[in-house]
Chains A and B, each alone.
Chain A
Amino acid sequence: MRPAGLGALLAHERARRRRGAVGLLVAAACLGGAAWVTDLDVTRVVDGLPKMGDFLGRLVPPVRLAHLRSDLAEWYWGLGTWLGLLGTTLLMALLATGLGTLGGGPLSFLAARNLSRGWVCWLTRRVLEIARAVPDLVWALVFVFAFGLGPLAGVLAIAVHSLGAQGKLFAEANENVDLQPVEGVRAAGGRWVDEIVYGVLPQVLPNFVSYTFWRLEINVRLATIIGFVGAGGIGVELYDAIALNYIADAGAILLLVVLTVFVIDAVSERLRLALAGLTDGGADGRPAPGRA
C-alpha cells in the first residue's frame, strides 16, 4: 500500500475509534436513563438477595438420602394431578400449533409478494402482523373474557399468535421459491390454486415442516405460562402454588416443566433433523434468526 493509503487508513482507524467512543457514551447514557426510569435501587437488590436465596432454597424441600423414597413422595404428593395437567398443556400446544399452521399456511401464499399482489396481499400481511404483534398473553386475557376460563382460551390465544408467526415465516419461504415450475403449471392451464399446490408447495414443504416443529417447541413453553391468566394448563397450578406460598409445590412443578421442555425440544430436534436429512432441506431445519 502506498504511504498516502497508510495515512487514509490511520485516519479511518481514528474515526472508527471516535465512533466507538461515542457509541459507548450513548450506551452508558441510555443505561443511566433506564436505571432512573425504573427507579433502580442497588440497595434493594442487595437486600433482596438473601430473601431470594431463601425462596430458591425452599423450592426444593430437604430430601434425605436415607428416606429418599418417602421424601420424594412427599415432595411430589400431587404427581398424578400435575402429570395430567402437563398432558393438557402438551395437548394445548399441539392443537394450537395445528390450528395456527392450518390457518397460517394458506394465508402465507396470499401474503407472499411474488404470488399475490394488490390489496389482498397488503391486507393479509396486516392481519398476520396484528396476530403476531399483539402479545400472546394479551390475546389470552381477551379470550378468557370471550370463551371463559380454561384451556380453550389458551389454545386460541397461542393459535392466533402462531398463525401470525407461521404466516410470516412461510411467506418468506414462499418468496424464495423458483418461479419456473409455477409458470409451467400456468402454461399448462392451471388455476392459481394449481400453481400453488403443484408449483410452490413441493418446494416449500420441507421448510414448512421444520418451522412447524420449531413452533411446537415455542408453543410448549407458552402453554406452560398461559395459565397464569386462567387460560388452562399447568400454569394455573403453578401460579396458585406461588401465589398461595406453596413454594415446594412450585419447585416440584417447575422441575417437571423444565424436564418436559427438555424432552420435547430433544424429540422435536430429532424429528426435524431426520426430516431435514430426508428431504435435503436446510442445514438444521431451523429458520434464520428473524423476527418470529
Chain B
Amino acid sequence: MRHPTTRAIHADPGREARLQALLAAGGGLRWRAAVAGAGVAGTLLYAATEFGLLGMQFVDGLGNLGSALVMMLPPSGYDQLPTFGWALLETVAMALLGTALAAALAAPLALLAARTTCPLGILQFGFRRFADSLRALDYLIWALVFVRAVGLGPLAGILAIAVVDLGTLIKLFSEAIDNTPRGPVEGVRATGGRRLDQVLYGMAPQVLPTMVSAALYMWESNTRSATILGIVGAGGIGYYLADRLRVYEWGEASLLILLILVAVYLIDIVASRLRARLIRGA
C-alpha cells in the first residue's frame, strides 16, 4: 500500500513546479541568510568587545562573582523573617490590587478598543495605540514616575502595575471580544435588546471566563514583577533586597532571594489551579 504522503504528492500536480521555484528561491535565500548571519555575528562581536566581555573586566568579574556566591551561603538573618514575610505579603497584595484596578478599568475600555463594538474606526485605532504606549514602558519606569508623584511606598507600585496592565488587558480583552461568535449578540438584538443589553447578555457570558483567566495570568506574572518594584522605592520585598545587596549583606540577600523564589513558585501553583478550575467551571 502506498504511503499516504506519497499519494498526496501524486494527487497535487502543481507541487512539482512549486518545488522547483522553491529550490531556485532557496539559493538566493541562502545567500541572503549568510549575509544576515555575518552581519549579526559582526554586531555581536563588536558589542562584546565594546562592553568588555572579551577582556579582563569579565575575567576579574568572574572572581568577584564567585566570592559573592560563596558569601551568600548559608542564608542568614532569620530573625528578620517577620519583616521579610510581611514585605512579601505586601508584594503579593500590590500585584493583586494593581491587576484588579487594571481589570476594572480595562473591561469598559476594551469595548472601545475592539473592532466589533467600537462605533468609530478611528477611535478604535486610537485606543489600541493608547494601550500599546502604556505597555511600551516597563513597570519600573512607571514605578519611578509614580514614586515622584505619590511618594515612596506600595501605592506607587500598585499604580505602576495598574497602568502597564491596563495596556495589556485592554489589548487582551478587546481581542477576546473580537473573537466571540456574533450569534448570541444578534439574538439579543433580534429580541429588541439595546446596545447595553447586547453587551451584557450576548457578549459578557462568552468573554468573562477569558477575561478572568487573563487577569489571573497577569496577577501571577505581576507578582514576579512586583518583587523588584521596591528597588526604586515602590514597596514590597524588593526594597529590602536592593538594600541588603547595596550594603553587601550577602547572607540576608540570599534569604530574600530564596523567599522570592518560594513565593513565585507558590503563586504559580495557586494561579494555575484557579485557572484550571475556572476553565472547568465555565
Contacts and interface: CB of A to CB of B under 8 A. Distances in A.
A228 B140 contact: yes
Contact of A37 (B68, B90, B257): B90
Nearest to A41: B155
Contacts of A133: 260-261, 264-265
Contacts of B228: 135-138
B97 A258 contact: no
Which range contains the number of B residues in contact with the other chain?
35 or more
B132 A262 contact: yes
A257 B136 CA distance: 8
Which range contains the number of A residues in contact with the other chain?
35 or more
A152 B51 contact: yes
B276 interface: no
A80 to B, nearest CB: 18
Interface in A135-156: 135-138, 141-143, 145-148, 150-152, 155
Secondary structure call for the A interface: helix
B245 A145 contact: yes
Contacts of B222: none
A45 interface: yes
A291 interface: yes
Interface in B169-194: none
B53 A95 contact: yes
A95 B53 CA distance: 10
Interface in B210-227: 217, 220-221, 224, 227
A56 to B, nearest CB: 8
A30 interface: yes
B43 A147 contact: no
30 contacts: A16-B281, A31-B96, A31-B97, A31-B100, A35-B97, A37-B86, A38-B90, A40-B154, A48-B150, A91-B43, A91-B50, A91-B51, A92-B47, A94-B47, A95-B51, A133-B265, A134-B260, A135-B238, A137-B238, A147-B60, A147-B61, A147-B64, A150-B52, A152-B57, A222-B138, A224-B138, A225-B140, A228-B140, A239-B232, A242-B145
- What are the 5 closest A-B residue pairs judged by CB atoms, nearest first? A147-B61, A34-B93, A48-B150, A146-B65, A52-B149
Interface of A: 16, 19, 30-31, 33-35, 37-41, 44-45, 48, 51-52, 55-56, 91-92, 94-95, 98, 130, 133-138, 141-143, 145-148, 150-152, 155, 221-222, 224-225, 228-229, 232, 238-239, 242, 254, 257-258, 261-262, 278, 289, 291
